[in-house]
Amino acid sequence: MSVISQERIPNNVDLASDKRLQRALEAWQPSFIQWWKDMGPHGFQEDQVYLRTAISVEPDGWAHFDYVKMPVYRWGIFLADQVPDRRIGFGDLMGEPVWQQVPGEHRNALRRLIVTQGDTEPASVEQQRLLGRTCPSLYDLRNLFQVNVEEGRHLWAMVYLLHSYFGRDGREEAEEMLHRRSGDQNKPRILGAFNEPCTDWLSFFMFTYFTDRDGKYQLLALAESAFDPLSRTTRFMLTEEAHHMFVGETGVMRVVERTAQMMKEQKKDHPDDLRKLGLVDLPTVQRYLNLWYSVSLDLFGGEISSNAASSFAAGLKGRAQEDRYEDHRALTGTYAVPRFQNGALVTEDVPMRNAMNEVVRDAYIEDCQRGVDKWNRAIAAHGIPFELRLPSRRFHRAVGVHAGQHFDPEGNPVSAEAWQASQDAWLPSAADRAHVQGLMREPVMEPGKMASWIAAPKQGIKGRPVDFEYVRPRQA
């Protein structure tokens, strides 16, 4: 059977009669599988994993559960249903019908947006490829793989757009996405956060909470696009992205739950004592949070951006949940953004369109806070006087006006020397990493069993019990 068939590639884009897409996928699909084997989850390619597969966009079709070996996972191509008579909802062309084809005028800008989004998908798979070896439970192992195959599908979603609407350039870009490698100095992934190593499970949970949440906001912004196929593709991706953030939110939650519970039971609060008990102490959790939150903030781009303004004006990329705003043209308003003037930080009102990155970043920050509040309620429920906090947006930034400066987590400027001296108190130190990785030496592969540093989940997947055999090792 050809690799390019309705059966192998579930889709609702009429692949069967789209010769151009078939031709493109015939060349790309084998490269993708090879990439998956080379760079996908290491050591588990032959195992049977209880995974969700999208086989149609119907309510019962997009979440089909079964055991599957990952290399034969049916990565599909799905667009959310077309909205009849959809109109452009923002920018200069507001009110005009959306585009079913790429307008030549915006081809390069749209391709750039899609490639940048698409590149993050395989990047995160690469970042996480060794995590399976240190999983805290079969339940978590399965969740990791679910996230991985769906990031793979998100890559397919972006590749579908490149193949269908961007001709030869699009095919070349799709191929390039399989050649860049996370963290590779010669061919790094496009965005910084996707080159950060993600070598332990605390990082994985932080990544899925904070960095995938950036993904959510980018997808929401692209879902507003006047280019309808992009909008429909990203709307469907958002249904999957929710699970990834669930993995992150509950993952961090279970770590702090376990630590708080043990702190209460053992009546200990010194990090060294907690570490001896095989736990992640809360200050270490805070430092991991500081790192992943700050690198994720960078992903929104500079505070004042002409690119963001022109994307908005042209209707290529809106604000996340554009309908929450009143003024969709955003021509007259201003937005207060931070700026350095003569060495001092001031606030400047800039035209709204130029501040779009900051507008979306603000919504993201608000959204991030919700999970942190939940974690803090869990800690408080155990009577532990400790609060996790989102650091200031100025802290540890590599993009925007705060890049190249030093700030403490409260946002106060500090000298380079002070930064050096305090860095280990604010960001994961070598010792923190050594401790966290030390906790995760061996995978926990017995159904229902949890590693020492994490609480069991409240429930299993798709009504299955927590001790369900979510991953069946290959038959010897």
Partner 1 sequence: MAGHDLPETPVRFETHPERYRHWRLDLPAEHGGKVARLTLDIEEAGGLRAPDAPGGYTLKLNSYDLSVDIELADALQRIRFEHPEVRALLVTSGKERIFCSGANIYMLGTSSHGFKVNFCKYTNETRMGLEELSAEGGVPSLAALNGTASGGGYELAVTCDEIVLAEDGSSVVSLPECPLLAVLPGTGGLTRLVDKRKVRRDLADVFSTVAEGIRGKRAVEWGVIDEAPPRARFDEAVKRRLEAMVARSSRRPFRPVKLGPLGAERTEKGCRYRYVTLEVDAAARQATLTVEAPTGAEPETPGALAEAGDGAWAIRAFRELDDALLELRFNHPTVAVVALRTRGSAEAVLKVDRMLAAHAQDGLVREVVLQMRRVLKRLDLTAKSFYALVEPGSCFAGSLLELALAADRVYMKDAAGEPVSVALSPMNAGPLVMPNGLTRLQSRFLATPEKVGQVLALPGPLDTAAAVEAGLVTFAPDDLDWDDEVRLAFEERASLSPDAMTGMEASLRFGGPETMETKIFGRLTAWQNWIFQRPNAVGERGALTLYGKPERPHFDWRRC
Nearer to partner 1 among residue 91 and residue 132 (C-beta): 91
What contacts 453, CB < 8 A, 6 or more positions away? 136, 255, 258, 259, 278, 279, 280, 439, 440
Nearer to partner 1, 24 or 455 (CB): 24
| Cβ-based nearer residue to partner 1, 2 or 186 | 2
Nearest distance from residue 166's CB to partner 1, in Å?
Answer: 8
Return the biggest CA–CA distance within the chain. Answer: 68
The whole-angstrom separation of Cα 105 and Cα 109 is 9
Q: Reduced to 3 states, what is the DSSP secondary structure of residue 347?
A: strand
Cα distance between residue 209 and residue 217, in whole Å:
12
15-23, 115-123, 184-192, 393-401 -> range binding partner 1 (CB under 8 A): 15-23
Q: Does 104 bind partner 1 (CB under 8 A)?
A: yes
Minimum CB separation from partner 1 for residue 457, in Å? 48
Minimum distance, C-beta of residue 113 to partner 1, in the bound complex (Å) = 16
Q: List the one residue out of 362, 308, 305 whose CA is nearest residue 339.
A: 305
Pairing state of beta strands 334-341 and 471-472?
Answer: unpaired
Q: Is the CB of 91 or the CB of 409 nearer to partner 1?
A: 91
Q: Does 102 bind partner 1 (CB under 8 A)?
A: yes
Distance CA 356, CA 370 (A): 22
Candidate residues 108, 347, 369, 459; the one interacting with partner 1 per rule CB under 8 A: 108
* Piece of the chain touching partner 1 by CB under 8 A; list 45-53, 97-105, 152-160, 369-377: 97-105
User: What is the distance between the alpha carbons of residues 128 and 138, in angstroms, rounded to a whole number?
Assistant: 16
CB of 172 to partner 1, least distance (A): 12
Which pair of structure tokens corresponds to residue 143?
């969740």
Q: Specify the stretch interacting with partner 1 by CB under 8 A; choose among 35-43, 161-169, 205-213, 318-326.
A: 161-169
Cα–Cα distance, 353 to 371 (Å, whole number): 29
Q: Which of 58, 105, 366, 417 binds partner 1 (CB under 8 A)?
A: 105
Region of 16 on the Ramachandran plot (φ > 0 left; ψ -120 to 50 alpha; else beta): alpha
Residue with smaller CB distance to partner 1, 84 or 104: 104
User: Contact region for partner 1 (CB under 8 A) — 83-91, 165-173, 222-230, 338-346?
Assistant: 165-173
Single out the residue of 331, 321, 327, 310 nearest to residue 362, CA to CA.
321
Task: Out of 8, 42, 86, 107, point to the residue binding partner 1 (CB under 8 A).
Answer: 107
Cβ proximity of 220 and 367 under 8 Å? no
Stretch of residues binding partner 1 (CB under 8 A), selected from 79-87, 99-107, 205-213, 250-258: 99-107
Give the interface segment with partner 1, choosing from 18-26, 62-70, 315-323, 462-470 (CB under 8 A). Answer: 18-26
429 and 435 in contact (C-beta within 8 Å)? no
Q: Which is nearer to partner 1, 20 or 458 (CB)?
A: 20
Angular region, 438: left φ>0, alpha ψ -120 to 50, beta rest: alpha
- Residue 9 near residue 76 (C-beta atoms within 8 A): yes
Task: Give the helix ranges, DSSP H, for 2-106.
Answer: 19-39
Smallest distance, partner 1 to C-beta of residue 233, A: 18
173 vs 408, which CB is nearer to partner 1? 173
| 324 is a contact residue toward partner 1 (CB under 8 A) | no
By CB under 8 A, residue 165 contacts partner 1: yes
Sole window of 16-24, 60-68, 124-132, 375-383 interacting with partner 1 (rule: CB under 8 A): 16-24
Report in angstroms how near the CB of residue 103 gets to partner 1 at its nearest: 6
Told to check if 37 binds partner 1 by CB under 8 A, we report no
Q: What is the total count of residues that contact partner 1 (CB under 8 A)? A: 13
DSSP one-letter code for 336? E
What is the dihedral sign for C-alpha 334, 111, 398, 213?
Answer: positive
In whole angstroms, the minimum distance from the beta carbon of 106 to partner 1 comes to 8
Sign of CA dihedral 272, 275, 281, 286: positive
Of positions 101, 306, 412, 459, contacts partner 1 by CB under 8 A: 101
Q: In the bound complex, what is the minimum distance in angstroms from residue 350's beta carbon to partner 1? A: 26
Residues 166-205 that bind partner 1 (CB under 8 A): 167-168
Q: Least CB distance from residue 420 to partner 1, whole Å?
A: 49
The residue (of 165 and 375) whose beta carbon lies closer to partner 1 is 165
> Which residues in the 121-150 window bind partner 1 by CB under 8 A?
none
For 222, list phi and psi in degrees, rounded to 5.
-75, -25
Nearest-CA neighbor of 65 among 57, 55, 75? 55
The minimum distance between CB 11 and partner 1, in angstroms, equals 18
How many Cβ atoms are within 10 Å of 406's Cβ, its own excluded? 19
Q: Which CB, 22 or 392, lies closer to partner 1?
A: 22
Find all residues with CB under 8 Å of 310, minimum gap 6, and list them. Answer: 109
Task: Rule CB under 8 A: choose which of 5, 6, 23, 380 binds partner 1.
Answer: 23
Interface residues with partner 1 (CB under 8 A) are 19-20, 23, 101-105, 107-108, 165, 167-168
